[in-house]
């Protein structure tokens, strides 16, 4: 079993209810250890859309990185996610943020998440549940990444 941190986000429909359903569905392959509070955040990358709600999940899994990605995509699809513009509205978005000390660099998957260090909406919920986690390759902790984050977008726990 390996420690994993996922970030679930949604900005359309019944956001809180669907995030909770997403957490339940992900538990088919990830044994939950702790979930963060839900955070509201201004949308990154594309304005003119509703704010996102995000929740981080810390868990343990025996799935491979590719199998975990497959599970995430299946849960997103069952929540009604459709292809659309990058950083556009989402029925459900599930990102693999960390997977122990593993580094994955494939065209379809990068772990740790390549944009996490610059995204307050990711770092706040992740730091709530895994502040001491070391982020490969240099081992900077999630807490230290949050302290150094210069993302100006507003994010707060609800």
Query: Catalytic amino acids?
Result: 81, 90, 93, 95
Q: What is the Cα–Cα distance from 129 to 122, expressed in whole angstroms? A: 12
- Residue with the two structure tokens 């998957």: 109
Report the phi/psi class of residue 151: left, alpha or beta, with left for phi > 0 and alpha for psi in -120 to 50: beta
Q: What is the Cα–Cα distance from 37 to 114, expressed in whole angstroms? A: 23
SS3 state of residue 5: strand
Per DSSP bridges, beta strands 109-111 and 93-99 are: unpaired
- DSSP for residue 19: H
For 30, what's the count of Cα atoms within 13 Å in the CB-facing half-sphere?
A: 31
């Amino acid at each position: 079993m390996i420690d994993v941190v996922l970030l679930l986000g949604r900005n359309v429909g019944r956001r809180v209810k669907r995030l909770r359903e997403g957490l339940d569905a992900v538990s088919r392959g990830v044994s939950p250890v702790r979930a963060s509070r839900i955070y509201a955040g201004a949308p990154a990358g594309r304005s003119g859309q509703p704010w996102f709600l995000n929740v981080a999940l810390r868990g343990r899994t025996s799935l491979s990185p590719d199998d975990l990605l497959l599970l995430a995509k299946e849960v997103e699809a069952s929540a009604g996610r459709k292809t659309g513009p990058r950083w556009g509205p989402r029925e459900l978005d599930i990102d693999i943020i960390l997977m122990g000390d593993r580094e994955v660099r494939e065209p379809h998957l990068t772990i740790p998440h390549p944009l996490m260090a610059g995204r307050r909406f990711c770092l706040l919920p992740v730091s709530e549940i895994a502040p001491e986690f070391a982020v490969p390759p240099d081992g900077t902790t999630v807490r230290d990444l949050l302290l150094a984050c210069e993302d100006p977008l507003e994010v707060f726990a609800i």
